[in-house]
Chains A and B, each alone.
Chain A
Amino acid sequence: MQMKSLTMTLSALALSASCGAASAADSLTITSWGGAYQTSQDEAYFKPYTAKTGAKITQEEYNGEAARIRAMVESGNTTWDAVDVDAATAQQGCDEGFLTPIDYSKFGGEEAFVKGSTFECGIPTIIYSTIYAYDADKIKDGPTTIGDLFDTKKWPGKRSLQKTPFGNLEFALMADGVPADKVYETLKTKEGVDRAFKKLDTIKSDIVWWEAGAQPPQLLASGEVVMATAWNGRIFNANKVDKKNFKIVWDGQLLDYDLWAVPKGVKDLDAVYKFIEFASSPEAQAEQTKYISYGPALLAATPHISPDILKDLPTAPENAKTALANDPVFWGDNKEELLKRFNTWIAQ
């Protein structure tokens, strides 16, 4: 019933969109993750796009809650035109039908982007990394390996981790001695998941959980924690803008993509595509790296980036020696169970 009426609403919307396309006002609502990352998008994409086309861009923020997109689509009132999503959401949104499949021919085909980063319902924009960092003003000769994050004897004090199984399970296994290329293989077994949780158990009482990307730099700055996992760009930004002396530990970093996704039922798909096309141009993507150290997903953008910025990107060869690339298929298949188990574990 609900599904049927939903499809009807959607087709009605699609119809009205195709009729009104010519008259549609050039205004877009774009949602991203807030903080320093959204500021970089504002500088590199939103402001230049408005200057160039006159289209007004309204910005909204979220913390990656896929439910907000789904609720919007189900109610038949899609107000977000484009959303910056993580890979797991891009996969889930396609599987569950709340994101629009992307016509890659408008963006130079899938081969224009880093291999493996393209999704049926999302166009990759950046490569980011979840790393951990510490305040070098407070710790001299700081930690160097992913194992140190779990070593409370050598490095006593609180640590901050993101309140999600994603990333933490991988870090736990790598700290427990599983090589990066065997992590997802191990996590596919019950024993592997048990092992990861057991490792997390060893530091459970020393964890302060974070949920918004802006929290880890704050927790480090206030001295509330001695180390924090974070998205690498946020640490870069705290050093650059707030003149902090945070050091990133690249060992065992977890690489992932952020993608532009279009919720089902947007009023003017062409206008959204026009924006994404702009945001996927080599110049705009290179421009963004000036504000935050995320690697562009567009292959053609790299030659436009200056070498002193390149060395801070997660994809720089120096940094990526022991990197682990997120496996979206693994997370697409196992997210439900692992979330459930993680939430139970954390509440106990």
Chain B
Amino acid sequence: MAVATLEGDAGPDVDRTSLKTKLRRAERVNRARSFSLVAPLLLFVLAVFALPIGLMLLRSVENTEVRDSLPKTMAALGEWDGKATPGEGVFAAFAEDLVQTQKDRTTALVGKRINYEVPGARSRFLKAGRLIDAGGGGPWKEKLIAADAEWGAVEFWAIMKRAGNTLTPYYLLTSLDLRQDASGAVVRNFADYSIFVDIFIRTIWISLLVTLATLVLGYPVAHLLAILPPRHANVLMILVLLPFTTSILVRTTAWIVLLQSNGVINDILLALHLTTERVQLIFNRFGTVLSMTHIQLPFTILPIYSVMKSIPASHLRAARSLGAGPLTAFVTVYMPQTLPGVGAGCLLTFILSLGYYITPALVGGPQDQMVSYFVALYTNREMNWGQASALGGILLLITLVLYAVFNRLVGIDKVKLG
């Protein structure tokens, strides 16, 4: 826009045009030079941040197991109308594919993929593989159905056909407690498998609790830091920053020592006769929120402090001199000015809390595990990487949406991080 107006203004004036061109040329060199300075960082970010996240997100829709392992079956199923059990042609193609998967040892992997949608399919595939290994010819339709009647189910083959697509909504739907029925319509998932919506709500709820707790505890500390004379403020600052120098694992383990049934806190409570029996402080929501709050406190305090530091003390004095009481002056003059810091601190803590893994895993019970726990579970234990990345992707999306809402309501440009 600006350039166009300039050129329009320049019009017939040749000198100005050439000057502008020269300037632009000179700037281009400068720009190239400065870009070459940031290029390594840009490449680094792309290579180790953007690319892996992109690849991870891809996994949540990627669906190559069946397509790659059962190509002949999928080709044969292409002409199937989905009304009755497929004919011998499909079964013969399937048997041919199984010969190869048995050789490659991929039968179980295909079975596992189908098993996500059809319980029991993995063992059915393994049995079919053994049948193939045993040798002998067809007709395979009769043979397989005789081994397990489920091979004749129309719904089963409909799901097989759908599983042959290169992309699948399966993992994302499951993460939202939904599933596709045999006809492809999206319906609610079986109650036995529907946990994820609850877990997302739980994750957001715990993060909110932690954010609120850090704000209530951190705001007065930040204020104290801002008004104390530097000599004392520095000591206090060191205390605030000290936890940063300790590993998160150590801090969490310290909480286990303190909170356990035979731990220090329970001993003290009993000795003071505040309780008659030991209180359960750990492996529940209380322990989780408490230790997460402890870990997140500096993240909330520091942005608030930096904003408070920049508020001139004269504002409060002016309010008082105009007749406001100490509380009115604080609430109407001081507090609104700290809002950008409060916003930044809370946003930072909230977003960091959404991704907590190790702390809930150590001091929480099974009902306190957040989304990250399930990402780890599906990655390490169940080896269902599609599910793990779908959960991660949705968490990322939730974070971005919350960020956008925050930006809309508060304005991210008003936020000061330090």
In angstroms, Cα B112 to Cα A224, docked, is 39
Stretch at the interface among B11-19, B25-33, B99-107, B341-349: B99-107
In angstroms, Cα B385 to Cα A66, docked, is 13
| Residues from chain B with Cβ under 8 Å of A209 in the complex | 365-366
| Residues from chain A with Cβ under 8 Å of B122 in the complex | 333, 336
B192–A2 touching, CB < 8 Å: no
For the complex, is B379 an interface residue (Cβ under 8 Å from A)?
yes
A97–B105 touching, CB < 8 Å: yes
Stretch at the interface among A13-21, A48-56, A296-304, A339-347: A339-347
For the complex, is A65 an interface residue (Cβ under 8 Å from B)?
yes
A41 CB → nearest B CB, Å: 23
In angstroms, Cα B195 to Cα A3, docked, is 32
A224 CB → nearest B CB, Å: 5
B111 CB → nearest A CB, Å: 9
Given contacts A1-B64, A223-B261, A344-B195, contact A339 B108 (CB under 8 A): no
A3–B69 touching, CB < 8 Å: yes
Given contacts A223-B261, A339-B382, A344-B193, contact A3 B106 (CB under 8 A): yes
Sort chain A's interface into a size bin. 20 to 34
B85 CB → nearest A CB, Å: 24
A96–B109 touching, CB < 8 Å: yes
| Residues from chain B with Cβ under 8 Å of A68 in the complex | 380
In angstroms, Cα B328 to Cα A239, docked, is 66
B126–A333 touching, CB < 8 Å: yes
A95 CB → nearest B CB, Å: 4
For the complex, is B319 an interface residue (Cβ under 8 Å from A)?
no
B265 CB → nearest A CB, Å: 14
Contacting residues of chain A (150-175) with chain B, CB-CB under 8 angstroms: 158, 163
In angstroms, Cα B194 to Cα A96, docked, is 27
For the complex, is A202 an interface residue (Cβ under 8 Å from B)?
no
For the complex, is A24 an interface residue (Cβ under 8 Å from B)?
no
| Residues from chain A with Cβ under 8 Å of B106 in the complex | 3, 96-97
With CB as the reference atom, state the residue of chain B lying closest to A219.
Answer: B260
A222–B112 touching, CB < 8 Å: no
With CB as the reference atom, state the residue of chain B lying closest to A204.
Answer: B366
A347–B369 touching, CB < 8 Å: yes
B383–A67 touching, CB < 8 Å: yes
In angstroms, Cα B383 to Cα A230, docked, is 25
A2–B64 touching, CB < 8 Å: yes
For the complex, is B83 an interface residue (Cβ under 8 Å from A)?
no
In angstroms, Cα B111 to Cα A333, docked, is 11
A205 CB → nearest B CB, Å: 9
In angstroms, Cα B364 to Cα A347, docked, is 12
With CB as the reference atom, state the residue of chain A lying closest to B202.
Answer: A347
Q: Of A66, A92, A97, A163, which is within 8 A of B104 by CB?
A: A97
B382–A95 touching, CB < 8 Å: no
Given contacts A66-B383, A333-B126, contact A95 B261 (CB under 8 A): no
- Residues 365-390 of B, flagged 1 when their CB comes within 8 A of A and 0 if not, give 11101000010010111110000000
B262–A223 touching, CB < 8 Å: yes
In angstroms, Cα B382 to Cα A219, docked, is 26
For the complex, is A242 an interface residue (Cβ under 8 Å from B)?
no
For the complex, is A337 an interface residue (Cβ under 8 Å from B)?
yes
For the complex, is A105 an interface residue (Cβ under 8 Å from B)?
no
| Residues from chain B with Cβ under 8 Å of A346 in the complex | 366
| Residues from chain B with Cβ under 8 Å of A58 in the complex | none
| Residues from chain A with Cβ under 8 Å of B192 in the complex | 341, 344
- Residues 91-131 of B, flagged 1 when their CB comes within 8 A of A and 0 if not, give 00000000000001111110010010001101100100000
- Residues 52-93 of A, flagged 1 when their CB comes within 8 A of B and 0 if not, give 000000000000011110100000000000000000000010
For the complex, is A309 an interface residue (Cβ under 8 Å from B)?
no
For the complex, is B199 an interface residue (Cβ under 8 Å from A)?
yes
B68–A340 touching, CB < 8 Å: no
A67–B108 touching, CB < 8 Å: no
In angstroms, Cα B365 to Cα A223, docked, is 17
Chain A CB within 10 A, most for which of B107, B195, B198, B381: B381
A314 CB → nearest B CB, Å: 25
Given contacts A3-B106, A224-B262, A348-B195, contact A67 B381 (CB under 8 A): yes
| Residues from chain B with Cβ under 8 Å of A306 in the complex | none
In angstroms, Cα B198 to Cα A348, docked, is 9
Given contacts A95-B105, A96-B108, A347-B367, contact A337 B379 (CB under 8 A): no
For the complex, is A208 an interface residue (Cβ under 8 Å from B)?
yes
With CB as the reference atom, state the residue of chain B lying closest to A339.
Answer: B382
- Residues 209-246 of A, flagged 1 when their CB comes within 8 A of B and 0 if not, give 10000000000001110000000000000000000000
With CB as the reference atom, state the residue of chain B lying closest to A197.
Answer: B192
| Residues from chain A with Cβ under 8 Å of B383 in the complex | 66-67, 70
With CB as the reference atom, state the residue of chain B lying closest to A3.
Answer: B68
Given contacts A1-B64, A7-B104, A223-B261, contact A337 B119 (CB under 8 A): yes
With CB as the reference atom, state the residue of chain B lying closest to A329.
Answer: B123
| Residues from chain A with Cβ under 8 Å of B194 in the complex | 344
For the complex, is A334 an interface residue (Cβ under 8 Å from B)?
yes
| Residues from chain B with Cβ under 8 Å of A158 in the complex | 261
A-B contact pairs, 21 of them (CB 8 A): A3-B106, A65-B380, A66-B381, A94-B105, A96-B105, A96-B108, A97-B106, A208-B365, A209-B365, A222-B260, A223-B261, A224-B262, A332-B126, A336-B122, A336-B382, A341-B193, A343-B374, A343-B377, A344-B195, A347-B367, A347-B369
Closest 3 CB pairs of A and B: A97-B105, A333-B123, A95-B108
Give me 11 other A-B pairs in contact (C-beta within 8 A), A95-B108, A348-B367 excluded. A3-B68, A67-B379, A68-B380, A96-B106, A97-B106, A97-B108, A208-B283, A222-B261, A224-B261, A343-B382, A344-B193
